[in-house]
Chains A and B, each alone.
Chain A
Amino acid sequence: MLKIENLHVNAGGRAVLKGLSLEMKAGEVHAIMGPNGSGKSTLSYVLSGRDGYEVTDGKIEFMGQDLLAMEPEDRAALGLFLAFQYPVEIPGVSTTTFLKTALNSIRKKRGEKDIEPAAFLKLQKQKIQQLGMDPEMMKRGVNVGFSGGEKKRNEVLQMAMLEPKLAIMDETDSGLDIDALKVVSEGVNALRSPERSFLVITHYQRLLDYIKPDIVHVLANGKIQKTGGPELALLLEEKGYADFYDATEAA
Chain B
Amino acid sequence: MTNAAIAQETLETIKALDKYEAGFVTEIESEFAPKGLSEDIIRFISAKKNEPEWMLEARLTAFRHWLTMPEPQWAKVSFAAIDYQDAYYYAAPKSSPAPKSLDELDPKLLETYKKLGIPLREQEMLNGIAVDAVFDSVSVVTTFREKLHKAGVIFCSISEAVQEYPELIKKYMGSVVPYTDNKHACLNAAVFTDGTFVYIPEGVRCPMELSTYFRINEAKTGQFERTLIIAEKKSYVSYLEGCTAPKRDENQLHAAVVELVAMDDAEIKYSTVQNWYPGDENGKGGIYNFVTKRGICKGARSRISWTQVETGSAITWKYPSCVLLGDDSVGEFYSVALTNNYQQADTGTKMIHIGKNTRSRIISKGISAGKSNSTYRGLVRIAQKAENARNYTQCDSLLIGDLCGAHTVPYIENKNPTATLEHEATTSKISDKTLFYCRQRGIPEEEALTLIVNGFCKEVLQHLPMEFAVEAQKLVAISLEGSVG
Contact = CB atoms under 8 A, between A and B. Distances in A.
Partners in one complex: yes
Interface of A: 48-52, 71-73, 75-77, 81-82, 84, 87-88, 90-93, 97-98, 101-103, 105-106, 109, 141, 158, 162
A158 B441 CA distance: 8
A26 B145 CA distance: 68
Interface of B: 1, 431-434, 436-445, 447, 451-452, 454-459
12 contacts: A50-B440, A71-B439, A73-B440, A73-B445, A82-B440, A88-B437, A92-B455, A98-B441, A102-B438, A102-B442, A105-B441, A105-B443
B455 A93 contact: yes
A97 B450 CA distance: 13
A75 B434 CA distance: 17
A162 B452 contact: no
B341 to A, nearest CB: 25
A143 to B, nearest CB: 9
Contact of A76 (B432, B441, B445, B455): B441
Given A76-B441, A162-B442, 5 more contacts: A73-B440, A84-B437, A98-B438, A106-B441, A109-B442
Contact of B443 (A87, A102, A141): A102
A109 B439 CA distance: 13
B246 to A, nearest CB: 34
A27 B28 CA distance: 68
B447 A101 contact: yes
B452 A93 contact: yes
The 7 A-B residue pairs whose C-beta atoms are closest, nearest first, are A92-B455, A93-B455, A76-B442, A102-B441, A106-B442, A92-B458, A72-B439
B452 A50 contact: no
Nearest to B434: A88
B309 to A, nearest CB: 15
Contacts of B444: 73, 105
A167 B10 CA distance: 33
Main secondary structure of the interface of B (DSSP, over half): helix
A90 B451 CA distance: 9
A87 B436 CA distance: 11
B443 A88 contact: no
Nearest to B396: A91
A90 B434 contact: yes
B99 to A, nearest CB: 43
B322 to A, nearest CB: 25
Contacts of A71: 439
Contacts of B451: 90, 93, 97-98, 101
B425 to A, nearest CB: 15
A93 B440 contact: no
Nearest to B426: A91
Contact of A90 (B1, B447, B455): B455
Contacts of B445: 73
A181 to B, nearest CB: 23
A47 B438 CA distance: 16
Contacts of A82: 440
Contacts of A97: 451
Contacts of B442: 73, 76-77, 102-103, 105-106, 109, 162
B437 A87 contact: yes
A65 to B, nearest CB: 16
Contacts of A91: 455-456
B364 to A, nearest CB: 15
A81 B442 CA distance: 9
Contact of B440 (A76, A92, A98): A76
A78 B180 CA distance: 65
A76 B436 CA distance: 11
Contacts of B436: 50-51, 72
A162 B443 CA distance: 12
A51 B432 contact: yes
A73 to B, nearest CB: 5
A105 B459 contact: no
A158 B456 CA distance: 22
Contacts of A98: 438, 441, 451
Contacts of B433: 88
A91 B457 CA distance: 10
Nearest to B453: A92
B443 A92 contact: no
B455 A162 contact: no
B437 A92 contact: no
Nearest to A141: B455
A71 B446 CA distance: 13
A92 B456 contact: yes
Contacts of B437: 84, 87-88, 90
A227 B358 CA distance: 71
Nearest to A76: B442
